[in-house]
Copies of this chain bind each other. A is one copy, B any other.
Amino acid sequence: MNPIDLPPSPVRLQATSAPNQPEPTAALEELYRGFEQELLVPLWTEIGGLMPPHPRSKAEAHLWRWDRLKQLASEAGHIVPVGRGGERRAIALANPALGGRPYATPTLWAAIQYLMPGEHAPEHRHTQHAFRFIVEGEGVWTVVGGDPVRMSRGDFLPQAGWNWHAHHNAATEPMAWIDGLDIPFSYYTESQFFEHGRDEITAAEQTTPDRSRSERLWGHPGLRPLSQPADTPGTPLLAYRWEDTDRALSDQLALEEEGHVGVISPGHAAVRFTHPGTGRDVLPTIRCEMHRVRAGSTTRSWREVGSSVYQIFEGTGKVSVGSKEWRVQRGDMLVVPSWVSFQARCDDDAALDLFRFSDAPIFEALHQHRVQIDAE
C-alpha cells in the first residue's frame, strides 16, 4: 500500500450522549447498525467537524530550516541516482499534521530539488502545474518544449501543466532549488495525467543560452508577440528574472518614500507573477508573489481562505503564523494553513524578501476566496 493511500475502513458509528446528539437508545444503536451495513453516515454526528464556522485547517504552521534541507539534499545527491522511474531528486516538505504524506499543505507540494554536475533529469509531462524558484546557485537549465531556460538566484520559472520538460546541470557544482506544484490538489481531486518523454534530450537542447526563447518572445513589458496565441491557461513566459523583480520592489518602496502610492501597506512592497497574455495568475491553480518588507517594518496581519508556503529569499526577521513565531533567514521555508494569520517583521538592518506561493486561484475561480485583515 502506498503510504498516501488510506485503509478503506468500514463505516463505524457510535451512539453517544454528547451534546446535540440523539439519545443513545437501543433503537438508535440498531439504526446505526443499519447505517453501517448500508454504508451510510448521518450528518448529525459529523456536522461539527465537516461544517465548522470557519476553516479549521488539518495542517499545522511549521518551519523548515534551509541548511538542513540543503544538507539532506546534498547527501541524497551522493546516494540516490536521478533517472526514469523516480524522475527527479526532489524531497518534499511533509506537514506534521498531514499523516506523514508529502504535502506541505492540503493542496500544495513544496520540495527541494538537487542536481549534481553533469546530471540530467529525464523528460516527462504532467497536468500538475509546477514552478521552480531559485534561492541560491546557478548552472542548471530547465528545457521546456525544447527551450532551455537558465536558472539563477532569484529567478522564478513557472511551468504550466502538460508541457514536456527536463533538467540538465551544465556546471561543475551541484545545484539546489525549490519546486512548487499542485500535486496534493490533483491527487485529491483525481484529475491528473502523466507521460514519460524522451530519456535524453538533444545536444541542441543542452545549450546554455542566457535568455530562453520564451523570454525573447514574451519578456518585454506590455508587448505581445503577434505570432503567439495569448489566451493559454498557463503563462507562456518561462522565466521571471530577479533583476526585474528586484527593481519592481525597489520602485515601490521608492515611490512610498516620495509620497506616492505603490506599497500595499507601509513598508511592504509586493508583486505578483502574472501571465503576460492575460494578466491572470501564472498557473491556474497556484499564485506566486514576491514580497519585500523594508528594514524595521512590519506587514499587516491577515488571514485568507487557502494555504501558502513562504521561502525567505533574503534578509532576517521574525515571522508569526497563528500562535507560532520564528526568527527566519535565507532559504527557510514555512507553511501558513487556511484562515491562519500571517505577519512578518523585518530586522532593522536590511530588507526582508519573501517568496510566496498559494492556492488562491482555485478559490477565486470558484468564488470562494475571502481575505480578512486583522485589526491592529
Tell me the chain A residues, 291-348 only, with Cβ under 8 Å from chain B. Answer: 305-307, 337-339
Contact B27 A79 (CB under 8 A): yes
Contact B51 A272 (CB under 8 A): no
Contact B192 A52 (CB under 8 A): yes
Residues of chain B within 8 A of A358, CB atoms compared: none
Beta-carbon nearest neighbor of A68 in chain B: B38
Contact B31 A75 (CB under 8 A): yes
Q: Does A217 belong to the interface (CB within 8 Å)?
A: yes
Tell me the chain A residues, 187-246 only, with Cβ under 8 Å from chain B. Answer: 187-195, 213, 216-228, 230-231, 233, 235, 237, 240, 244-245
Which of B22, B85, B95 contacts A79 (CB under 8 A)?
A: B22
Give the most central of A99, A126, A190, A224: most B CB within 10 Å.
Answer: A190
Range, interface on chain A: 35 or more
Residues of chain B within 8 A of A361, CB atoms compared: 366
Contact A225 B271 (CB under 8 A): yes
Residues of chain B within 8 A of A338, CB atoms compared: 189-191
Beta-carbon nearest neighbor of A307 in chain B: B190
Q: Does A5 belong to the interface (CB within 8 Å)?
A: yes
Q: Which one of A133-141, A164-172, A247-255 is at the interface?
A: A247-255
Contact A227 B270 (CB under 8 A): yes
Residues of chain B within 8 A of A25, CB atoms compared: 79
Q: Does A118 belong to the interface (CB within 8 Å)?
A: no
Q: Report how far A263 CA is from B213 CA in the complex, Å.
A: 13
Give the most central of A5, A56, A282, A367: most B CB within 10 Å.
Answer: A367
Q: Report how far A11 CA is from B58 CA in the complex, Å.
A: 16
Residues of chain B within 8 A of A53, CB atoms compared: 193-195
What 1/0 mask marks residues of chain A from 44 to 74 whose CB sits below 8 Å from any chain B CB? 1111111111111111001010001100100
Q: Does A34 belong to the interface (CB within 8 Å)?
A: yes
Given contacts A220-B245, A367-B233, contact A192 B51 (CB under 8 A): yes
* Minimal beta-carbon separation of A188 from chain B (angstroms): 6
Contact B221 A244 (CB under 8 A): yes
Q: Does A106 belong to the interface (CB within 8 Å)?
A: yes
Contact B222 A273 (CB under 8 A): yes
Contact B272 A216 (CB under 8 A): no
Residues of chain B within 8 A of A152, CB atoms compared: none
Contact B213 A44 (CB under 8 A): no
Q: Report how far A272 CA is from B277 CA in the complex, Å.
A: 11
Which of B39, B88, B226, B306 contacts A289 (CB under 8 A)?
A: B226
Q: Report how far A97 CA is from B223 CA in the complex, Å.
A: 34
Contact B106 A44 (CB under 8 A): no
Q: Does A107 belong to the interface (CB within 8 Å)?
A: yes
Q: Report how far A235 CA is from B359 CA in the complex, Å.
A: 26
Q: Does A4 belong to the interface (CB within 8 Å)?
A: yes
Tell me the chain A residues, 253-301 only, with Cβ under 8 Å from chain B. Answer: 254-255, 260-264, 270-279, 282, 284-285, 289
Contact B252 A225 (CB under 8 A): yes
Q: Report how far A89 CA is from B28 CA in the complex, Å.
A: 14
